[in-house]
Amino acid sequence: MQIHETTKPQLRFANGEFDITMFSDGFIQVHIDIVVADGTDEQRENVMAVTGDPDGKNVRSKANIPLLKRGADTILVDIGAGSKYQPSDGKLLADMANAGIKPSEITKVVITHGHPDHLWAMLDSDSNLTFPNATYYVNEAEWFYWTDPDLPNNLPHDFAEFARGAQRDFAAVADRVVLVHPGEDIVPGLRVLDTAGHTPAHISLEVEGDDGLIITGDVATNQIASFQFPKIRFGFDTDSDLAITIRLKMLDRAATDRIKLLGYHWAYPGLGYAERNGGAYRYAPAQ
């Protein structure tokens, strides 16, 4: 089935006092050996059958970005990669334009973590802020992790590039950043959750109202692997054991309480439920 990486009209729905529109930044390609880092051949085949790229080697990981409106605030949760990461991503601004949303209208940007596919759209080709009127919200511990000047020297080559990009982009908003902590609200009804593991201080967001909604970020990076094989390592997790523990806790809570989940890398629009399936889970898209 062909998936259009930008859609018009975009999915729009209400949750509590928030009006939410789902945008797409396109997709990134992630090698199957990263997505299923210590899994079996059968598990790899299951993941590739649903989310695999036609090249047969990579998973096609979508990039779903929610825009939340409440009162005078227009909030983006993560901003995509811009033109700096892979040629298949960086579509957010075009998708926003299709909906008549201008970058200057964004009042708040929340960054779940410092990886390029969530952050590198910070600056345009002229090194100006893409969202010039926004205040930026970052977990304090995540901010200090990425802005440590010694970090690039302490990471493998590929991850060192991640660090240099995060330092470039965080430096650009240093005078307009608000450092937050788990348990605090970005605005009333939008609460920061501690979901460390994928990065040292990764956060998710809980949206108050209705039956509940959690914007998960990268707690569960694949709609097959993360649900059906939740104890398998994902190769880009900083702390695999902690990431697995957090993933299991979130899936258990979501399945028990029937909380809607929004996943950054699931098939657009990335909105669905965790349902128990034997000793694991399955992803059920919201209707």
Sign (positive/negative) of CA torsion 208, 5, 27, 31? positive
Which H/E stretch holds residue 14? Answer: strand 12-15
Secondary structure E strands in 176-263: 177-180, 185-187, 190-194, 203-207, 213-217, 260-263
pLDDT score of 8: 53
Q: In the 8-state DSSP scheme, what is residue 129?
A: B
Q: Is 154 helix (H, G, I), strand (E, B) or coil?
A: helix
Residue with tokens 């080697």: 57
In contact, 6 and 24? CB cutoff 8 Å: yes
Q: Cβ atoms within 10 A of the Cβ of 56, count?
A: 8
Query: What does the block give as tokens for 287?
Result: 């209707």
Query: What does the block give as tokens for 133?
Result: 């009127």
Render the burial of 37-48: b for 16+ CB within 10 Å, e for the rest.
bebeeebbebbb
Residue 190 burial class via C-beta count within 10 angstroms: exposed 0-12, middle 13-18, buried 19 and up? buried
Query: What does the block give as tokens for 206?
Result: 């809980």
Q: In the 8-state DSSP scheme, what is residue 198?
A: S
Give residue 1's identity as a one-letter amino acid code. M
Give residue 111's identity as a one-letter amino acid code. I
In contact, 92 and 24? CB cutoff 8 Å: yes
In contact, 182 and 192? CB cutoff 8 Å: yes
pLDDT score of 156: 87
Which among 22, 243, 27, 18 is positioned nearest to 251, based on CA atoms? Answer: 243
Q: How far apart are CA 274 and CA 254, in angstroms?
A: 6
Angle at 269 between CA 29 and CA 142, to 5 degrees: 65
Residue with tokens 């959690």: 214
Omega before 9 within 30 of 0, i.e. cis: yes
Flag residues of the chain having pLDDT under 70. Answer: 1-8
Residue with tokens 């990268």: 218
Residue 186 burial class via C-beta count within 10 angstroms: exposed 0-12, middle 13-18, buried 19 and up? buried
pLDDT score of 6: 44
pLDDT score of 157: 84
Query: Per-residue pLDDT tens for 12-68?
Result: 999 999 999 999 999 999 999 999 999 999 999 999 999 999 999 999 999 999 999
Q: Cβ atoms within 10 A of the Cβ of 277, count?
A: 13
Which H/E stretch holds residue 276? Answer: strand 271-277
